[in-house]
Structures are given as C-alpha cells and as structure tokens.
Amino acid sequence: MSAQARGELPLWYSAGLVPVLNVACAFLVAGLVVLAIGASPIDAVRILLRGALGSPYGIGYTLYYATTFIFTGLAVAIAFHAGHFNIGGEGQSLLGGLGIALVVLNLAFLPSPLLILLTIAGAALLGAAWAFIPGWLQAYRGSHVVITTIMFNFLAFGLLGYLLVGPMKRPDSMSLETLPFVEGARLFRADEILGWMGIAMPRTPLNLSFALALLCALFTWVLVWRTRLGYEIRTVGANPTAAHYAGISSKRITVIVMLMGGAFAGMMATNEILGVQQRLIADFTAGAGFVGIAVALMGRGHPVGIVLASLLFGVLYQGGAELAFDMPLMTKDMIIVIQGLVILFAGALENMFRERIAGWIFRKPVEVAP
C-alpha cells in the first residue's frame, strides 16, 4: 500500500520541505527585525554567509561548532524515538568532560592512541552514568525525565564547580581549571591532518571529533532503523501499550535510550576538551546541550537531518560572530534573536505549514497529528 493510500506524508515532505519552509520564514522575520534597526538584511545575509562559508577559515569554525551540535542533537533524538525528552545534555556533557579529565590526569603515562581511546570511553561512560539516574527514575519510580534532567543539569554545574575549586583545581592559577593535559591526549586538528597530505588550511579548532560525531550519527541510523532494538525503541515511542502487549519492556527501553543519549552528550566534550582546551574548564558547554534540542527538532530526530541542522547552527554561530564584527548595529544580542527565531519556527511552529501543504500533495485534506 502506498504512502498516499495510507494517508501518510512522504519523507521528502515531512523531513525536507517543512523544515526548509520553517527556516525560510525564520530568516524572513529576522530580515524584518534587521530592517527595523536600520541595517540592510541583504548585507547581513551576505556577511553571515561569507563569514561562515566564504573561506577555509570560516568553514573550519562552522564545522567545529556543528560537531558539538551533532553530539547534543543525537543525545536528544535517541530519546525522542522512545517517547522521552532528554534535556539534560548540558549536565551530561559536563560529566563527559570530567570523565576525560579523570582518565588523562591519572593515566597520562599510557601510549597516545590508547590514552585517547580511553578518554573517549571515559567521556561516554560518565555521560551515560549521569543520564542513567533520570532514566531509571522515570522507568521505575515514575519521576518525569524532563524534570529530573533539568535538576541534573544544575547538579552537574555544582559538582564540576566544586571539583575545580577544590580537589582538581590547578594550583598555580586563579581560573577554574585543571592542570594542562599531556600532549598525547590531544586530538589532531584538521589543518594538521590536511598538512600531512600537502593541503594547506588555516589553523582552526576543527579536529578529529568531527569524524567521531559523523560515526555516531551513522551508528544511530543503523541502530534505530536497521536493528531489532531500534524497532523496539520506535515501537515504545509510537505506542507503549502496543509495545507492552508485544512483549517489549518500556522500562528497559527507557533506561537504554537515556544511557545512549548520555553517552552521545558526554562525547561532545571530546570536541572542546580534547580538541581545543586541553584541560577541563568550567562551563565549557556554553549552552550546547540546549541548542541540541533545537537541532533534534529541526532534524526530525533523523541523523541526516541532525547533521544538516547542526551545520545550519554552525553557520549561525560562526557567521553571527563575523556579522557582529562587521556590522556594529548587529550586536551579539541581535544574533541571539535570529537564532531564537530559527528555534521558534523550527520547533514551536513546526506544524504551521503541514496541513495546508499536505492538502496540496494529496489534493485532499489530511489529518496530521499535533
């Protein structure tokens, strides 16, 4: 039976056309806001795109930001498929950074390849452990995962602050940071790798964690759509009652997806801590866990959509920085307004076009679930 006969919306529509229209509307409204403050929307778009995609330097920074958002977007999306809303990416990422620091500061004598593998595992393990508790509470005690993950974000900030003020503080610095990591715990940058191949590229923070993020996206696609566990996850998310009668444990699935989401969020720390900072610092996430929610919504929970949405937010972050520098009227607050409009139209107003365009596609009204 065809998708039209079943009254379903085709994938190119639900995962392609609707997000594009939502983003276009967001930029249209943002253009009106830019016009209202006396700036040129056309010049603003030109500077934004040039700063983000107009040079190897800008592309490197754009992909660096996108790497972070791929991890946090996957952390939200994997829980979405089971019907849960993991908004604890901030805290899980912070614990991932703590996992990296614990491995490097205690096992610095290990060979570099082994040390890096263990740091990645440490980031994933502590991120998963931090997400396990809200997942277990949701599954076995009925504590709503939205509330508990919010609480655990604050707990993570408090825990990391305590450690960086006390037991893990660098003794010769007033900053909240650990001792610098050994050189063997550093992820190679893209400009270094391309330099070995004879390709010149400006130095940017883009590093091997970008490849790790893409591997995580591929893993998620295979898991969710090509494995039995993925089928169980989607079944629980679509109809927990039917899943129960089919012998699928909703409690088990809840714990599993939270563990995987926490692991993805924890590995976000590899981009910033191993690839750039080379030490554990306070608040290195800078809101990336919350941006991951918008990325997952815009990408419709699909890994390909998440990668594309992450690239869009990477463009907004890098291009926005150039825009604030080249156009004095476009302050950082204005850049945040533009990002907020994209989130608003991609998330809260995502169904604005669905029913009308669905009627055009099928030539008859189609009921679309809210």
Integer angstrom CA distances of residue 232 from 83, 137, 246:
12, 20, 10
Euclidean distance between CA atoms 236 and 14, whole angstroms: 21
Instruction: Check residue 83 and give left, alpha or beta (phi > 0: left; psi -120 to 50: alpha).
Output: left
Integer angstrom CA distances of residue 49 from 62, 143, 271, 312, 348:
11, 44, 23, 11, 26
Integer angstrom CA distances of residue 269 from 15, 139, 207, 210:
29, 27, 12, 12
- CA 273 from chain centre, in angstroms, equals 16
Q: Provide φ and ψ at 81, rounded to 5°.
A: -65, -20
Q: Output the pLDDT for position 83.
A: 95
Per-chain mean pLDDT for the chain: 89
**Residue bearing tokens 């660096």:** 64
What is the residue type of 164? L
What pTM does this model have? 0.90
Q: Helix, strand, or coil here: 204?
A: coil
Q: Output the pLDDT for position 358.
A: 63
Give me the mean pLDDT over the 308-337 stretch: 87
Q: Helix, strand, or coil here: 84?
A: coil
Q: Output the pLDDT for position 29.
A: 87
Residues 65-103: pLDDT tens digits?
999 999 999 999 999 999 999 999 999 999 999 999 999
Give me the mean pLDDT over the 169-180 stretch: 92
Residues 106-115: pLDDT tens digits?
999 999 999 9
Q: Output the pLDDT for position 357.
A: 63
**Residue bearing tokens 């912070």:** 94
DSSP percent split of the chain into helix, strand, coil, nearest 5: 70, 0, 25
Question: DSSP class of residue 275?
Answer: I
Euclidean distance between CA atoms 252 and 233, whole angstroms: 10
For the cut 90, the answer to whether the pLDDT of residue 154 exceeds it is yes
Tokens of 159: 């825990």
Q: Output the pLDDT for position 362.
A: 61
